[in-house]
Structure 1
Amino acid sequence: KMQQYNYVIFQRDSDYYRVSYSDLSNRDDVIYIDHFRPSHPSIVNILYRIHHLKILNVDLRLPAKHIWYPSYFKHSFANNLPLCFIFNSRWMKYPHLREYLLYLKYRHNAKLVCFYQDLVDAHRHVKFHKIFHLFDLILTYDKGDAEKYGLTYHPTVYSNYKVDNDENIPGSDVYFVGSAKDRLALVFDVFYRLKKEGIACDFYLSGVPSSKKIEEDGLHYIHKMSYIENLKHVVRTKCILEIVQGNAKGSTLRTWEAIMYDKKLLTNNLTIANDFYYDGNYISLLNGNYIDVDFIKQHHSYNNPFKNQINPEKLLDFITQRL
């Protein structure tokens, strides 16, 4: 397959994204960047940080950001193929980064791609109409948003990241982690129905006000959990519980974790039944009050055939075909 582009991926600074894109780390046609900081002596770094303080940059604009543009990305590819820049949509809330796109287009004659890995309406600081004209291609992980805004649907990606089996973490039948948001009552309801059937639950909830906390074995209230810590719990469970927020129509990370680590998935995302990776051997739908308890209890040894389909290499192929 002929290489057509060199790719520069500007992702958010988080372990989740580093894990998700880790399969690209050995490719010489990909540079992965998750911060906008110059690699200069400390005094320059301090000046840079003051100039780029988040609060100042979303609400107030400090001038002359363009002096830093050459330091965001250094061309170190072995050849001179055209460049394709892929931005996480969250970076677009900063006016100077929206202007940086124009700089890249002009300076490198580059292709520009934006990937929404969150709902468009969740981007409070930048309205969609401000950015859509800047890109050659805009992707979204959410089918509803693809229809609503005329975007191109592509599922989020996930890599085959090695996680150690930490025996200090107790094994469980069903594991859940998430913020309470609009789903607390449903999480508690599922917890009690599983517990009644003798199923060992390992549930971690953040953002639960004290007045709503219920003390039970297997229910843990946390401020937050690191993504790597989450994966250690994934490895130690038989089944992952996914409860999507009210209006989301895309699979979450829980689906990719189930695929990549050969786990079962119990989910209330009913649209998953239409997706290419749906397979009743490892996915059970949480529909109304029905939970398939036998599905959770039965022994399961399964090598999921969809691992390669969600790999970030597939994303690069998909983008290349559409530019």
Structure 2
Amino acid sequence: MNKVNFLIYSDGFNELDEYFFKEVEECDNIIVIKKNSIFNNSFLQKIFKIHTSFKINNYIKIPFQSVWYKFLYRKFDNNYPTIHIFFSSWYYPDYFNYIKRKNSDDKLVMYFGDTIKSKKKVVKNLAISKLKSEVNQIFSYNWDDVREYGLKYLPVSYSKINDFSIIPTKNKHDVIFIGASRDRYEEIVDLYKQIKNTNLKYFFYVVKSNNESDSFNDPNFILTNKTLNFFDYMGYVKSSKWIIELLDPGTVGTTLRFWDAIMYNKGLITNNKQVMQSQFYDSDNIIIYEKSNDIDLSKLLNGKHIDYFYNGENSPRKFLEVVKSSLFDLKEV
């Protein structure tokens, strides 16, 4: 990644976001700007958050947002071009123009780690046709959005944890599901009921999205308003044999659950047919289903050793190389 600088504008909302680019944060040519921790001063950070809030600016645009730009734009101690990578919570076209005025050689990239449909609910003035004229490249993790809007596909990068001493120890389970209910609650419950009727040790942690109120009187099925923190989540991943991945309707692409399975050598149960095209696909280790009663749960008891031989295929270094190669002639950079 030499001869190019990267300014990465991440969401930075939780511990998980810390691990997207963690392994490259010490590189001299990479700076990660986290939206929730731009300022050490908590008062300034709160004012910035309010001033740039989409909830407010969707209805009335607050003036003088340019006062923040000098704090966001960073210079490197070299003359190489800079690629600005914006996660989709950073849709600020006026700031894009500010960057272009500062250095016309800089490149701008927008990355969608959510579906465009869900992002449009948050950013009311987001229009992909307009965005294409505002930035140099647009990537998405979702194949449906890539096809519909003519974008480039790129899965979410993820820094692998190698030191598990920082991860809390959890009880061992054969299979786990951890995630929000969203528009898939009935499917989650169907899977739970099917697995409960086996000898498998299971754990479901479901965060309410639609005020669900079921009570299963089961300590291994938790329905809650509280998001599980990243380190506890990784504790369950470490202690499990299989992980369940449920794609939301309208999503076609690998999620972080897929990469958790690949990086940490866990079996995967998924409704994502696209994984059959992955270099890691093995029908003994990855179960693809359409309906929950199609799943052969006996596979979860075969005790087979799983090793995908992951070698950084979804690391932030690979992510940045893909972005760079889409913008520059690699022979010149």
TM-score, normalized by the shorter chain, greater than 0.5? yes
Deviates more, 1:47-56 or 1:193-202: 47-56
Conservation of the 8 A alpha-carbon contact between 1:206 and 1:221: yes
Q: CA deviation at 1:50?
A: 5.4
For residues 279 and 268 of structure 1, the distance between their equivalents in structure 2, rounded to whole angstroms, comes to 15
Distance 1:47 1:240 in 2: 40
**Aligned partner of residue 212 in structure 1, secondary structure:** coil
Q: Partners in 1 of 2:128 and 2:259 — Cα distance?
A: 27
Q: Where do residues 184-195 of structure 1 align in structure 2 (5 Å cutoff)? A: 184-195=185-196
**Equivalent-residue separation in structure 1 for 2:8 and 2:89 (angstroms):** 13
Q: Matched residues in 1 for 2:186 and 2:283: separation?
A: 26
Structure 1 position 308 matched with structure 2 position 312: yes
Q: Distance in 1 between the 2:184 and 2:102 partners?
A: 47
Residue number in structure 2 paired with 1:219? 221
1:122 pairs with 2:118: yes
State the partner residue of 2:93: 98
Q: How far does the alpha carbon of each residue in 1:143-173 deviate from its partner, in whole angstroms, 9 at most, with x for none? A: 1111100001111111112333533x21101
CA positional deviation for 1:307: 4.1
1:296 is matched with 300
The alpha carbon displacement at 1:240 in A equals: 0.4
Partner of 2:330: none
Q: Which runs of 5+ in 1 are unaligned?
A: none
User: For residues 20 and 234 of structure 2, what CA distance do their matches in structure 1 show?
Assistant: 12
What CA RMSD, in Å, does the superposition of the two structures yield over aligned residues?
2.2
1:26 is paired with a residue whose SS is: coil
Report the equivalent of 1:239. Answer: 242
- Deviation by residue 1:70-96 (Cα, 9 ceiling, x = unmatched): 111332x3322111100001221xxxx
Q: Is the 8 A contact 1:37 1:72 kept in 2?
A: no
Render the CA deviation track for 1:35-91: whole Å, top value 9, x for unaligned: 27764867766654554455433332221221221111332x332211110000122
Equivalent residue of 1:139, what SS? strand
Answer yes or no: is the 8 Å Cα contact 1:37–1:48 preserved in 2. no
Aligned residue runs from structure 1 range 247-258, under 5 A:
247-258=250-261
Q: Which amino acid aligns with 1:319?
A: V
SS where residue 19 of structure 2 aligns?
helix
| Amino acid in the other structure paired with 2:294 | Y
Counterpart CA distance in 1 for 2:99 and 2:79 is: 15
Give the structure 2 partner of residue 71 of structure 1: 71
The secondary structure found in structure 1 opposite 2:233 is helix
Q: Offset at 1:129?
A: 2.9
Contact 1:37–1:71 (CA under 8 A) maintained in structure 2: no
Alpha-carbon distance in 2 for matches of 1:146, 1:177: 27
Q: Which residue of structure 2 lines up, in the alignment, with residue 154 of structure 1? A: 154
What is the identity percentage for the equivalent residue pairs of Structure 1 and Structure 2?
25
1:84 maps to what in 2? Answer: 83
- Closer, same or farther in 2 for the Cα pair 1:44/1:183, shift >3 Å? closer
Q: Aligned residue for 2:324?
A: 320
Question: Which is further off, 147-156 or 217-226?
Answer: 217-226
Conserved 8 A contact 1:38-1:68:
no
- 3-state SS in 2 of match to 1:16: helix
Question: CA offsets per residue over residues 77-121 of structure 1, 9 Å max, x none?
Answer: 3322111100001221xxxx2110111122022100111111111
CA distance in 1, matches of 2:44, 2:220: 49
Structure-1 residue corresponding to 2:267? 264
Residues 122 and 41 of structure 1, relative CA distance in 2, 3 Å threshold:
closer
The whole-number CA distance in structure 2 between the counterparts of 1:84 and 1:286 is 40
Quick one: structure 1 residues 240 and 38, their matched pair in 2 at CA, closer, same or farther if it must change by over 3 Å? closer
Q: State the distance in 2 between where 1:284 and 1:50 align.
A: 45
Change (3 A) 1:293 1:51: closer
Instruction: Give the TM-score normalised by structure 2.
Output: 0.87
Q: How many equivalent pairs are there?
A: 316
Q: CA, structure 1 residues 316+50, in 2 after alignment: closer, same or farther (shift >3 Å)? A: closer
In structure 2, the residue matched to 1:16 is 16
Structure 1 stretches of 4+ moved >4 Å: 36-50
Distance change (3 Å), C-alpha of 1:195 and 1:139: same
Secondary structure of the 1:301 match is coil
Helix, strand or coil: the match of 1:309?
Answer: coil
Q: Give the whole-Å Cα distance in 2 for the aligned partners of 1:230 and 1:320.
A: 32
1:189/1:21 CA distance change after superposition, 3 Å? same
Q: CA offsets, 1:205-264, max 9 Å, x none? A: 111645433322411112121222211111111110111112211121110111111111
Task: Return the offset for 1:130.
Answer: 3.4
Shift in alpha-carbon separation, 1:55–1:148, aligned structure 2, 3 A: closer
Q: Quick check: 1:158–1:310 contact (8 Å CA) kept in 2?
A: yes
Q: Structure 2, unaligned stretches of length 5 or more?
A: 328-333
SS at match of 1:266: strand
